Amino acid sequence: MPSEPGVALITGASRGIGRAIAVALARTGRHVIVNYRSRQDAAEETLAAVREHSTGELLELDVSNPEAVSAALDGVHARHECLEILVNNAGIRNDMLMIWMQQDDWRGTLQTNLDSFFHVTRPVLKQMLLKRRGRIVNITSAAGEVGSPGQVSYSAAKAGLIGATRSLAREVAKRKITVNAVAPGFIETDMLEGLPAQELRARIPLGRLGKPEEVAALVAFLCSEDAAYITGQVYAINGGLY
Ligand code: NAP
């Protein structure tokens, strides 16, 4: 793939899928902004991996906090004229049966997994609209497409992201901005901690968990010039799970 310079912001890039996306985009020559919430040690490791291929910087920010996002993105826009790529990847799991779920559990999951999309995307989109170019990729989940017991709030947030992806894609297509979603199944990251890996593998036709790099390769393609005619789509990457 030819080098495609530009600035990319990846939320939740200190670990897991976000880190792999940051490295994949660095390989294509992008300056990568590595967002994280609390794990600075891990974020530094991502940045070092990014710098093996390109340039980058850290952005400590809780994407569920609207005031903090607004202030941080003002700073980003002061440093960089325009972000060409935004990957909304930050997410948390908070599994419990609906019958036990309290208002705060519900709100907390939605704030991080769905409200963050609004807080981060809106200011970035403003600049993309002016520049008439941009790539937005939202990381949703198989849970948002087919549902998953114990994940009512998480699935609601991820399904919400899919609806937002499809509608926003239609709003901004005229300005050459594409908006797509990627829906991973079970990917080997910290997020799967505590889940029975053996049982999960048995449910997956390809017989193994996915690798963060496999998700990252798909995201990198969607962010490339070659994907200019793809928008409003949801790509499942799940080893044949459904
Ligand atoms: P992970 O290994 O647990 O990493 C989560 C990342 O999100 C970390 O970088 C974390 O930062 C960041 N983060 C969490 N809350 C944040 C907040 N409020 N503000 C900023 N950053 C925040 O998770 P992962 O498996 O890579 O998941 C990445 C995305 O893929 C998530 O949206 C997840 O829902 C989705 N997904 C994952 C799987 C899977 O099987 N792994 C399947 C489907 C979908 P800190 O390191 O600072 O905490």
Average pLDDT rounded to a whole number, residues 195-211:
96
Looking from the CA of residue 184, the nearest atom of ligand 1 is 43
User: Is 63 near ligand 1, meaning CB less than 6 Å away?
Assistant: yes
Burial class (CB in 10 A: 0-12, 13-18, 19+), 38: exposed
How much is the pLDDT for 201? Answer: 96
CA of 112 to the centre of ligand 1 (A): 10
User: Is 91 near ligand 1, meaning CB less than 6 Å away?
Assistant: yes
How much is the pLDDT for 191? Answer: 97
As annotated, the active-site residues are 154
Q: How far apart are CA 94 and CA 96, in angstroms?
A: 7
Q: Is the pLDDT of residue 36 over 80?
A: yes
How much is the pLDDT for 82? Answer: 80
What are the C-alpha distances in Å from 86 to residues 34, 58, 187, 222? 11, 15, 21, 11
Q: Is the pLDDT of residue 4 over 90?
A: no
Q: Is the pLDDT of residue 2 over 60?
A: no
Integer-rounded Cα Rg, in Å, for the chain is 17
Residues 132-146 pLDDT 10s: 999 999 999 999 999
Q: Is the pLDDT of residue 88 over 80?
A: yes
Q: How far apart are CA 190 and CA 173, in angstroms?
A: 35
User: Is 89 near ligand 1, meaning CB less than 6 Å away?
Assistant: yes
Q: Is the pLDDT of residue 9 over 90?
A: yes
Residues 46-75 pLDDT 10s: 999 999 999 999 999 999 999 999 999 999
CA of 147 to the centre of ligand 1 (A): 19
pTM for this prediction: 0.98
How much is the pLDDT for 207? Answer: 97
Q: How far apart are CA 102 and CA 99, in angstroms?
A: 9
Average pLDDT rounded to a whole number, residues 100-105:
98
Average pLDDT rounded to a whole number, residues 196-224:
97
Q: Is the pLDDT of residue 217 over 50?
A: yes
Q: Mean pLDDT in the chain?
A: 97
How much is the pLDDT for 103? Answer: 98
CA of 225 to the centre of ligand 1 (A): 26
Backbone dihedral angles phi then psi of residue 76, each to the nearest 5 degrees? -60, -45
Domains of the chain, CATH where assigned: 7-237 (3.40.50.720)
Looking from the CA of residue 63, the nearest atom of ligand 1 is 19
